[in-house]
Structure formats: C-alpha cells, structure tokens
Amino acid sequence: MKSILLHINDDPGLEARFQASLDLARTFDGHITCLQAITFDILAPGDFYGAAIAAAMTMIRESAEELRAKLEAELANEDVAWEWVFRYGMAEHCLLEQSAINDVVVVGPNDPAGGPGRPSPLVGDLLLRARTPILVIPGNHKRFDCTGPALVAWNGSTESCIALRAGLPMLKRASAVHLVTVIGDSERERFDLPKVQGAEYLSRHGIKCELAEVEMRDFSVADALFLEAQARQCAYIVMGAFGHSRLAEMLLGGVTRQALTNPQIPMLLAH
C-alpha cells in the first residue's frame, strides 16, 4: 500500500484519519495524496443579486486555505512523502477519480453533515463505485497499528473474498490473523465458500490464520464482530461491503451500515 489517498475535510474525524494515514505511510514507506475538495452548494432565498452567496463562497475558500496551511505545516515535519491536491467539486466524485491510481482510500465513517451515528453517503458511494479498498478510521482513534492483530470477517461471499485479497498487504504484516465467521448471519442463507478456503488462500501468501466462529446471540452481526475483535485485541477488521439501495446514504447492506453507524476500530472495506 504505497499510494494512500486521504480525504481532507474539516470535520471531527479528520485528525484521526490524518494520523492513520501517517502511520500507514511509515509502515509501507508510502506516499500520501491529500485530496481537498470544496463545493459551493449554497442556497440563499431572496438574495437576488448574489451578495450573500459571494460572501459565503469567500468564507468557504478562506476556511479551506487555512486548513490546508495548518496541515501542510504538520506534514512538513513528518518524514513521509506527500502531495496536496485541491479540487472544486463534490468530494465523492473527486475521490472516486483519484482512487483509480491509489492503493487505499482513507476516510471517516460518518456523514460530516449528519454527525456521529449516521453512516456517510460518501463512504457508501466509494464502496460501490471504486475498485480500491476503503480504510475507515473512527473519529476517536489516535493511532493505527497495521502490524497488530487483524480480524477478517468471513461469510464465503464474493465480497468477503474481495476484501480478503485487498487486505493482503496489511495482513502480511499483522502479528496475528483471525478468520471469523458469525453464526446466525441472516444476510446470507448459505456460505458460498467455506472458511477453510479463505485460510488456504492466506497460507499461499505465507499468512497463518486462526479460524473461529462466533454466535450472534442478542447482538447484530456488526456488534458480534466488534466484540470479537476487542476480545482478541485486534487493531482492525477486514470486511466485505454489501450494498443494494439506490440512494447514496443507503448504499450499504445491513451489516455494513451497522458497522459504520458506530465503528469501534478501523475497518478495511471492499466491495
């Protein structure tokens, strides 16, 4: 994961994903592309001459420039390669375009406009349209240790296989890998591929893993995975993302939406 695309937006989760990108770049001797996109989506009823809109545009632009200056000053003190890309336009469109030439996209889990507890439509859009894995960093995270233990969520689906392959660079560096199946996952009536095939795939890449099963009990699948990851002191989860709805903020299946509503640890997602 040499090429890291970082979403720059002045929201509460920025510092966490900024630090995670630095940790990732140090581990892989990588390069960070900081992508800052702003859009002037402003409505001002009664502003027939556009004065209020012009003033708001100036404030948005100045705020973006201040954020850039602050982060560039911090990056100048870090021993990592980086560049800054500024775009006018929708963030999801700009990130999607740039993701094609990057190894991983680092984003936050929640909708910046909706606050905590609401999955980000940006994440949903990227997951379904990008061919690059998405690393989702919770806003309260201080450090991302991609050499720590990892939990791979496995249900034998195509999506979980894609996520497994996408996570190989990180899984090769993980101190331990746990391939976990949740019993009672109603999102799929059967396992397309048994978990032993996932383990065999990892072994061909020199990765040893432990196979485990957990029961949902009174928990959701997402909660069961988070609890298992916490019990095993995992640094992150690798998981396939499911999406079905037409609306961007609903572009996630039940398990993925649950995981993004209140994420406990970083998640590497692929679809």
| Residue 141 belongs to some domain of the structure | no
User: DSSP string covering 206-259, please?
Assistant: T---EEEEEE-TTS-HHHHHHHHHHHTT-SEEEEE-----SSGGG-S-HHHHHH
Where does the pLDDT of residue 259 fall: very low under 50, low under 70, confident under 90, or very high at 90 and above?
low
Residue 256 near residue 242, CB atoms below 8 Å: yes
Q: For residue 210, is pLDDT > 90? A: yes
Overall size of the chain counted in residues = 271
Mean pLDDT of the chain: 86
Q: How high is the pLDDT of residue 119?
A: 66
Q: How high is the pLDDT of residue 220?
A: 80
Question: What token pair was written down for 66?
Answer: 């201040």
3-state secondary structure of 197: helix
What is the per-residue pLDDT across 4-31, written as a single tens digit (0 to 9) for each? Answer: 999 999 999 999 999 999 999 999 999 9
User: DSSP string covering 17-58, please?
Assistant: HHHHHHHHHHHHT-EEEEEEEE------TT-TTSHHHHHHHH
pTM, entire model:
0.88
Distance CA 196, CA 200 (A): 6
Q: How high is the pLDDT of residue 23?
A: 98
Q: How high is the pLDDT of residue 246?
A: 39
Is residue 85 domain-shared with residue 124, that is, in the same domain?
yes
Range with lowest mean pLDDT among 27-41, 207-221, 242-256: 242-256
Is residue 125 domain-shared with residue 13, that is, in the same domain?
yes
Q: How high is the pLDDT of residue 191?
A: 59
Pick the residue with more confidence: 158 or 103? 103
Is residue 106 domain-shared with residue 157, that is, in the same domain?
no
Is residue 58 domain-shared with residue 81, that is, in the same domain?
yes
The whole-number average pLDDT for the span 223-240 is 94
Which of 6-10, 121-125, 247-251 is predicted most confidently? 6-10
CATH of the domain at 250: 3.40.50.620
Where does the pLDDT of residue 83 fall: very low under 50, low under 70, confident under 90, or very high at 90 and above?
very high
Question: Domain residues for 191?
Answer: 150-270
Question: What token pair was written down for 199?
Answer: 């383990």
Where does the pLDDT of residue 206 fall: very low under 50, low under 70, confident under 90, or very high at 90 and above?
very high
The whole-number average pLDDT for the span 262-267 is 85
The whole-number average pLDDT for the span 115-140 is 84
Distance CA 31, CA 16 (A): 18
Is residue 132 domain-shared with residue 170, that is, in the same domain?
no
Is residue 35 domain-shared with residue 132, that is, in the same domain?
yes
| Residue 144 belongs to some domain of the structure | no
Is residue 95 domain-shared with residue 47, that is, in the same domain?
yes
Last residue of a domain, one of 114, 136, 158: 136
- How many domains is the chain partitioned into structurally? 2
| Residue 20 belongs to some domain of the structure | yes
Residue 9 near residue 60, CB atoms below 8 Å: no
Is residue 163 domain-shared with residue 248, that is, in the same domain?
yes
Distance CA 120, CA 138 (A): 12
| Residue 145 belongs to some domain of the structure | no
| Residue 143 belongs to some domain of the structure | no
Is residue 262 domain-shared with residue 159, that is, in the same domain?
yes
Q: How high is the pLDDT of residue 69?
A: 98
| Residue 194 belongs to some domain of the structure | yes
Last residue of a domain, one of 136, 168, 192: 136
Contacts of 34 (CB under 8 A, 6+ apart): 6, 8, 71, 75, 82, 83, 84, 85
Distance CA 173, CA 167 (A): 10
Q: How high is the pLDDT of residue 184?
A: 75
The whole-number average pLDDT for the span 167-185 is 93
